Amino acid sequence: MHVDCDKEGFLKDPTQWSNAFMEAVAQEEGLRLTTEHLAIIHFFRDFYFQHRLTPSQRVLVKYLRQIWPQEKASSLYIQTLFPKSLMLQASRLAGLPKPSRCL
């Protein structure tokens, strides 16, 4: 599988994304993907292709409150899923560009 990534591992073209790419990134990040990870990753992709930007954590939590139990639809719980950085890890797993508001 060959895809064009920038020096930080973000896809240059989000349409090159695949499940194989996502699994490879998860392995690099030391993550074992669950259905909860996948819900967030797919939300990131859907939001990006609809709005051409990465959703904020606030937008994500608001969405998750509609589909998850209250104890899981929180910033603290999401941080356990993406311990390094929600925005960076989820964006990279979703095959999206690095969010502009991340250093």
Q: Is residue 5 part of a domain?
A: no
Q: How many residues are present in the chain?
A: 103
Q: Is residue 80 part of a domain?
A: yes
Q: Is residue 88 part of a domain?
A: yes
In tens, the pLDDT along 9-62 reads: 999 999 999 999 999 999 999 999 999 999 999 999 999 999 999 999 999 999
Q: Is residue 2 part of a domain?
A: no
Q: Is residue 58 part of a domain?
A: yes
Phi and psi based region of residue 51 (left: phi greater than 0; alpha: psi -120 to 50; beta: remaining):
alpha
Q: Is residue 99 part of a domain?
A: no
Q: Which is the catalytic residue, given 6, 39, 102, 103?
A: 102
Domain count, the chain: 1
Q: What integer pLDDT is reported at residue 1 of this predicted model?
A: 62
Q: Is residue 100 part of a domain?
A: no
Residue 2 has pLDDT above 90, yes or no: no
Q: What integer pLDDT is reported at residue 8 of this predicted model?
A: 92
Domain, as residue range, for 78: 14-93
Phi, then psi, of 53 in degrees rounded to 5: -155, 160
Nearest to 86 by CA among 48, 52, 54: 54
102 is a catalytic site residue: yes
Q: Is residue 4 part of a domain?
A: no
